[in-house]
A and B are shown apart, each in its own frame.
Chain A
Amino acid sequence: MLNIKSLGGNNMTIIKKLALVVVSLSLVAVSSVSSAKPFSPKKPIELIIPAGQGGGADEIARLVQGVIEKNDYASKPVIPINKKGGSGGEAMTYVKKKAGDEHTLIITLNNVLTTPVNQPELGIDFFNDFTPLARLITDTFLVWIATEGKNTAGINTFDEFIDLARGNGLVMGGTGSMSEDELLLGMMRGQFGFDAKYVPYDGGGAVAKGLVGGESDFTLNNPSEQMGFYQSGDSKALVMMTPERNPAFPEVPSSYELGYPDLEYYMMRAFMAPAGVDAEVVSYYTGLLHTVYWDDEFQTFNIDDGKLMSWLEGYGLKDFLAIEYAKHGEIIKNFN
């Protein structure tokens, strides 16, 4: 017994010593792993844009690229690639296929919430095929008409517009079948009892041009998509679908002011990576986006452009996405 005890005591000390060595070794190992091998991109980063050139998502993507390049925030260049096909379906299929790829990002429109539901044949699982990184901006929607629109001449308020739209089949230009603006049209149809003929274009820039060119009567564009024509006086906004007025459009009333609080809708500008990327990769890109977010130029540009700065990451972002996904599922169900 004694022997054993003493043996045990000896063993204990040996084990303790060993444990100490192991712990300190592993500490060294851990610290060397975390200090010597944080993720950094090894080749150019592809930034996939699920929309055409000149639209809202495209603009933000290129702004983010520019801010990163200008300030050398990343060691490798960011290359924006437009994959506009099929209301974002093409882009999402691409990113899904890139699972585990550490050099691919996608900027979102809300079509990431709708296209997987509308096109089940693509086999996209919103919750498992992407890794959300951060939301930078929420974009708002306005009802736009041309200042010299042939059918909308003399319309100055949203209520006048509703009356006109109820009586006449107006034409609405939009960014693609079942995209945000068509869903919004669906919401408005339910609330105000008017319908419109929906004509899809290539991206928000073309939608804006179609309005001023007289092909459509109204659009539900983002602020930036109509900014050039708004400043030149070729188009005007009747209502902004937010609780408050926006400083970039001081004379445009909010939907709450007009007594339509249900008419509230946002477009999220978030970034996601493909599924199956490591935590270090996620924290690298989230950090990169955070740096971009607080860049002076980025802030000024977006605020001037009428956007809402709304950083969100981690669990907050996941909850937000889950809520929005459910909300859009509901809108789509009512739409069909």
Chain B
Amino acid sequence: METFALLLQGMVTSFEPLNLGLLIFGCLIGLFVGAMPGLGSVNGVAILIPITFIVPPTAAIIFLAAVYYGAMYGGAISSVMLGIPGASTAVATVFDGRPLAVKGEAMTALTAAAVGSFVGGTVSVILFTLFAPPLAEVALRFNAPETFALMVMAFATFVGLGGDDIPKTIFSILIGLVLSTIGLDLITGKPRLIFFNIPGFLHGINFLVLAIGIYGIGEMLWTLEETKGRVQMSKLSVNMKEVGRAFSALKKTFMAMNIGSFLGFFVGILPAAGATPASLMSYGITKQLSRNSKEFGTGVPAGVVAPECANNSASTGSMLPMLTLGIPGSPTTAILLGGMILWGLTPGPLLFTQQPEFVWGLIGSLYIANFFTLVLNIALIPAFLMVLRIPFAILAPVIFVLCVTGGYAPTQSLHDVWLMLLFGFGGYMLRKLDYPVAPAVLSIVLGPLAEKAMRQSLILSDGSMGIFFDFGSKPIAAVIMYIAIVLLIMPAFGPIYRKIFKKA
């Protein structure tokens, strides 16, 4: 009851004119920042931090959280409309969002993204409201072995991700893993795989460089070849019938919404994970568990809902360790955390009791921000759809320029632009040879997290793999590990299962 009163108080706080104005403004900026390839919530929030010094801390955090939030929605726009992930958190949205747009169902894809984001954001903020303190405890108990088990589970779901050709999928995963080991060794700091001693490899392969290359450039080449540059992408009309159709398509995405919301939130509260792994894992698991998992990747609404739901959910989740433990749950919250320290707050276990107005103002604002971003997004869909009316011959150079700036922006090195072009060409070739590329993208994100967690665990256990399977000392890790193994072998039993099912 007390929680409820505090929450109401928080909502009232966020309806104060200054706060509400900043909230809506923040959502709009976030949408833009998210939609621009290469500019993500991290850059957006970092750039805007100085502005927040002129307003009270509560207004400042409401503003920045709205930007963070808006960016989660915005990333989907360029993923769907251009096939370039607008932000790292929206890479998984390309998998099905792009095919949907190509099929002429961009309206459905954008609606699914907006509604998915809304559901994910709302479910997670409710979970946050109700269970913040005990969940902080969970985040504390989630250490290296547990993280590694979770990563294995994620990889297990990838095997089913590439379709029926499991060897090709595994090949793709391995390519991603090898690329992810380039750079400096995470534990010893020694350089690894620095090809031709080019210093650019020292910072490793930025995941966005690979994703923008494969999806942006590769997709552009592919589409140019297919359409010869003449045909416009798809015919579409915006009328009530279309809107109705888009919403009715969402009925089938109930499972994706559940998985995305809960998994996203859970992954979000784990320090160092964040919204990008959450969206990818959510996509993988939803696909694995779906009845029509074969259709994933060809344009199903659930494939858009799953990652979009998860990235919003995770972004709320990642505020939990930030507020309760003073540890960032994602790169963006790391910057928010810096802001809080500068505003004179000490994030940590005492923040909830010492600064209730700040904490509950933030939580209250998340409900409101969710609602406004949904409204904004749905209202702006017709404007976004205009993009598709542009002939592809004109659109292709625009995509190319966006890809190059997007590849340059995160690290500001030309080395990455060349790499991106190389990956674009490589991605195009893989696609021609019918290799799935999504697993490679996924493993370059999760590879470093998995490697680090595994090596930390093995240091703890003196090299014994038993640490991952010991129900006595590490029950959470063991449970996740066994689930992962089941998920891994499930596709192998798929045909047998189906036979039995058909006979019965």
List residues of chain A with CB under 8 Å of any chain B CB: 53-54, 58-59, 62-63, 65-67, 69-70, 77, 79-80, 82-83, 85-87, 89-90, 93-94, 97, 115, 118-119, 121-122, 171, 176-178, 197-202, 205-206, 208-210, 212-215, 227-229, 231-232, 234
> Which A residue sits closest to B321, measured CB to CB?
A209
Question: Nearest-CB distance from B114 to chain A (Å)?
Answer: 30
User: In chain B, residues 334-350, which have Cβ atoms closer than 8 Å to a Cβ of chain A?
Assistant: 334-335, 337-339, 341-342, 346-350
- What CA separation (Å) do A227 and B341 show in the bound complex? 12
Q: Name the residue among A63, A66, A80, A93 with the largest chain B CB count within 10 angstroms.
A: A66
Residue numbers in A under 8 Å from B466 (CB-CB): none
User: Are the CB atoms of B348 and A228 closer together than 8 Å?
Assistant: yes
Indicate if the CB atoms of A97 and B272 lie closer than 8 Å.
no
Give the residue name and chain of the A residue nearest to B349 (CB).
A232
Near A by CB (< 8 A), chain B positions 204-249 give 204
Shortest Cβ distance from A317 into chain B, in angstroms? 26
Is the Cβ of A94 less than 8 Å from the Cβ of B203? yes
B187 in contact with A177 (CB, 8 Å): yes
* Interface contact A115-B326, CB-CB below 8 Å: no
B345 to chain A, nearest CB (A): 11
In the complex, what's the smallest C-beta–C-beta distance from B348 to chain A, in angstroms? 2
Interface residue range, chain B: 35 or more
Residues of B within 8 A of A63 (CB): 338, 341-342
Q: Which of A62, A85, A202 contacts B183 (CB 8 A)?
A: A85
Closest to B343 in A: A66
Find out whether the CB atom of A199 lies under 8 angstroms from the CB atom of B49: no
Q: A93-B199, A206-B271, A209-B327 are in contact. Are A70 and B349 (CB under 8 A)?
A: no
User: In chain B, what residue has the closest Cβ to A63?
Assistant: B342
Contact indicator B346/A227 (Cβ below 8 Å)? yes
State whether B202 touches A176 (Cβ < 8 A).
no
Contact bitstring B338-364, A, C-beta under 8 A = 1, else 0: 110110001111100000000000000
Q: When the two chains form their complex, are residues B191 and A122 in contact, meaning their CB atoms are under 8 A apart?
A: yes
The residues of A that contact B347 with a CB separation of less than 8 Å are 228
- The answer to the question of B290 belonging to the interface, with a C-beta cut-off of 8 Å to chain A, is no
Residue of B nearest to A97 (CB): B199
Most buried by B among A54, A94, A205, A210: A54
Q: Contacting chain A: which of B91-99, B139-147, B387-395, B490-498?
A: B139-147
In the bound complex, how far is the Cα of B460 from the Cα of A215, in angstroms? Answer: 9
Give bound CA distance, A215 to B476, whole Å.
Answer: 14
Q: What CA separation (Å) do A83 and B411 show in the bound complex?
A: 10
A54 touches B328 (CB 8 A): yes
Decide: B334 and A89 in contact? CB cutoff 8 A. no
Tell whether B131 is near chain A: CB-to-CB under 8 Å: no
Known pairs A53-B331, A66-B53, A86-B189; A228 contacts B202 (CB<8 A): no
Q: Assess the B456–A199 pair: CB atoms within 8 A.
A: yes
Contact A90 B202 (CB under 8 A): yes
Given A79-B46, A122-B191, also A89-B184 (CB < 8 A): yes
Bound Cα distance A229, B184 (Å): 31
Residue on B nearest A71 in the bound complex, by CB: B53
Min CB distance A77 to B, Å, is: 6
Distance of A199 Cα from B53 Cα, bound (Å): 38
Cβ-defined contact, A69 with B50, below 8 A: yes
Beyond known contacts A89-B191, A197-B460, A206-B327: 20 more, CB 8 A cutoff: A53-B328, A58-B338, A59-B341, A62-B338, A66-B339, A66-B342, A85-B183, A85-B184, A85-B186, A86-B185, A86-B190, A176-B187, A177-B188, A199-B144, A201-B456, A213-B140, A214-B143, A215-B144, A228-B325, A228-B346
Contacts of B190 in A (CB 8 A): 86, 119, 121
Contacts of A87 in B (CB 8 A): 189
A-B contact pairs, 23 of them (CB 8 A): A53-B328, A59-B341, A62-B341, A66-B342, A69-B49, A70-B53, A77-B50, A85-B204, A86-B185, A89-B189, A89-B202, A90-B184, A171-B460, A177-B188, A177-B189, A206-B272, A214-B140, A215-B460, A228-B326, A228-B346, A228-B348, A231-B346, A232-B348
- Alpha-carbon separation in the docked complex, A209 to B327 (Å): 8
Q: Which B residue sits closest to A70, measured CB to CB?
A: B53
- Establish whether residues A83 and B203, one from each chain, have CB atoms under 8 Å apart when the complex forms: yes
Q: Which residues from chain B contact A93 at a C-beta distance below 8 Å? A: 199, 202
- Give CA–CA (A203, B155) in the complex, Å: 26
In whole angstroms, how far apart are the Cα atoms of A320 and B53 in the complex? 35
- Known contacts A210-B143, A215-B143, A228-B349; is-contact A197 B459 (Cβ 8 Å): yes
Distance in angstroms between the alpha carbons of A210 and B140 in the assembled complex: 7
Partner pick for A69 among B53, B143, B334, B456, CB 8 A cutoff: B53
> Which chain B residues (141-186) contact chain A, with CB distance < 8 Å?
141-144, 183-186
Contacts of A94 in B (CB 8 A): 203
1/0 per residue, CB under 8 A from A, across B33-57: the answer is 0000000000000110110010000
Do the beta carbons of A121 and B191 come within 8 Å of each other?
yes
Min C-beta distance of A68 to chain B, whole Å: 9
A62 and B349 CA atoms in complex are apart in Å by 21
Residues on the A chain within 8 Å of B183, using CB: 85-86, 90
Query: Contacts A206-B271, A231-B350: A90 and B327 contacting too (C-beta < 8 A)?
Result: no
CB distance from A90 to the nearest CB of B (A): 6
Q: Are A205 and B49 in contact (CB under 8 A)?
A: no
CA distance A90 to B192 in the complex (A): 12
Closest-CB distance, A10 to chain B (whole angstroms):
63
Q: Is the CB of A62 within 8 A of B189?
A: no
Distance (whole angstroms) from the CB of B365 to the closest CB of chain A? 22
Alpha-carbon distance between A58 and B326 when the two chains are bound, in angstroms: 13
Measured between beta carbons, the chain B residues less than 8 angstroms from A214 are 140-141, 143
> Which residues does chain A contribute within 8 Å of B47, judged by CB atoms?
77, 79
Which A residues touch B456, using CB under 8 A? 199-201
User: In the complex, A62 Cα to B333 Cα: how many Å?
Assistant: 13
CA–CA, A119 and B342, complex, Å? 35
How far does the Cβ of A295 sit from chain B's closest Cβ, in whole Å?
12
Q: In the bound complex, do residue A53 and residue B337 qualify as a contact, i.e. CB atoms below 8 Å apart? A: yes
Q: Decide: A227 and B348 in contact? CB cutoff 8 A.
A: yes
Q: Out of B50, B272, B328, B335, which one reaches A70, CB within 8 Å?
A: B50
Q: Quote the shortest CB–CB distance from B406 to chain A (angstroms).
A: 18
Q: How far is the CA of A79 from the CA of B338 in the complex (A)?
A: 12
Q: How far is it, in angstroms, between the C-alpha of A123 and the C-alpha of B98 when the chains are bound?
A: 45
CA distance A198 to B462 in the complex (A): 11
